[in-house]
Every structure is written in structure tokens, then in C-alpha cells.
Chain A
Amino acid sequence: GIQVEQSPPDLILQEGANSTLRCNFSDSVNNLQWFHQNPWGQLINLFYIPSGTKQNGRLSATTVATERYSLLYISSSQTTDSGVYFCAVVPGGSNYKLTFGKGTLLTVNP
């Protein structure tokens, strides 16, 4: 099956810093989503981005489908950005099952 690798596995930032999270995937995909899992366990949709670039406030994402990677940018980080960030993909012709990476644990200190 498709492999999804996220890096770095852990990241510690001071409030106000910027960061880039990376997601590499091993095959072509029809769907790529970024999620934030908050400390209460909820999965929050950040981006649906199988290709191209999107921005939402301090967050933006870019997927280069031909090179099989996606990047999530967090600018001016806040303590509320802490949590685990997951990349998840749906390969072509599948049952729509999302295959998740192992996530990046982000800790933003005040």
C-alpha cells in the first residue's frame, strides 16, 4: 500500500516562530488532507490540497503532486497551535480510505 512519511516527528518552538512540516507519499494520490489533532483528541480539517497552494490565516499548504510531497507552513506560531499534525492521502481507485502519516508533534512554548 501507499506509504506516507512525515517529518520532523517532533518540533518544539517558541511562540512567534515559523515552521514547515513535510509529508512525502510513495504513489499518486487523488486526495491529500492536513489535520490538526488538538490535545482533546479532535481531528480538525486544515486543508484539502491534492495539488497547488492554499492559505488560511497563519497557515498555508503546498502540494507538489508530481514530486509526491506536501508542505504545511505555520507562521507566527501560538500556543494553541500545539498538537499533532497529520497528513493523510487517498490513492487512486481506492475505497476512499485515508492513509495517515505518523504525524508531527508540535509543541509551542510561551
Chain B
Amino acid sequence: EAQVTQNPRYLITVTGKKLTVTCSQNMNHEYMSWYRQDPGLGLRQIYYSMNVEVTDKGDVPEGYKVSRKEKRNFPLILESPSPNQTSLYFCASKLRTGTSGRYEQFFGPGTRLTVL
């Protein structure tokens, strides 16, 4: 089954304790992206990757890191989490199609993170 998986699905942690949210897709997609969803602010892009070893900032990258060492995986790293990073996080992937942006994006099930 074609899918995007995220782990963990739920996490409660404390300020300053480094954490990683994993994202994996089995569709051989070049493009992967992270979004966060907050009440009143909607979904905002954090980072994206056009291919292996190619990553770039989205709209709200502060406090986050990413890496893309393998095509299927795109982990989101919070080196020193703070309470304002409490949010619902989504990973997404799609085929890379030049500048057209065609073809649908597939989303993971979400990771609900609480930073105390």
C-alpha cells in the first residue's frame, strides 16, 4: 500500500530535550515536506526537500532541522524544543515534476507534539 508514515504519532516531552520525528514514504517520491498545523494559523510549511541531499526552508523553519540522506526518509529534528513548538505536524510527499507542481501530495497521519 502506497503511504507516508510518521513516528511517533503522539509525543509529550519537556523543553530542551532533543527529539526526532521520522517520516518515510514508499512511493519513490523525490519531493518531501514538513508542515505544522496550529489553531488560527492553519498549515504552514517548515522545510522541504526536492531530492536526496537537497533541502530548503519553508515559511517557519526556526527551531527545526531536517536531513535527506535517503530518498524514502525525511526526519524532522527539534534540537531544543520549546513550548511554542507544540503543534500537529504533517509530513508530505509527491513526485517531482519540474516547475509544474502537478500530481497530488500525500500526507502522513500526523504527529501530535506537546512540549512542556
Min Cβ gap A48→B in Å is 3
Chain B residues within 8 Å of chain A by Cβ, number: 28
Is B105 in contact with A33, judged by CB distance below 8 angstroms? yes
Cβ-neighbour of B88 out of A33, A41, A93 (below 8 A) = A41
8 A Cβ contacts from B32-52 to A: 33, 35, 42-43, 45, 48, 50
Is B102 in contact with A43, judged by CB distance below 8 angstroms? no
Chain A residues within 8 Å of chain B by Cβ, number: 26
Cβ-neighbour of A43 out of B56, B90, B101, B103 (below 8 A) = B90
Nearest chain B residue, comparing its CB with the CB of A97 = B45
Cβ contacts under 8 Å, B102 to chain A: 30-31, 50
Cβ contacts under 8 Å, B106 to chain A: 45
Is A45 in contact with B99, judged by CB distance below 8 angstroms? no
Q: Which of B20-28, B63-71, B78-86, B107-115 sits within the interface?
A: B107-115
Is B107 in contact with A91, judged by CB distance below 8 angstroms? no
Is B104 in contact with A96, judged by CB distance below 8 angstroms? no
Cβ contacts under 8 Å, A92 to chain B: 99-101
8 A Cβ contacts from A37-77 to B: 41-43, 45, 48, 50
Nearest chain B residue, comparing its CB with the CB of A33 = B104
Is A98 in contact with B110, judged by CB distance below 8 angstroms? no
Cβ-neighbour of A42 out of B43, B58, B59, B109 (below 8 A) = B109
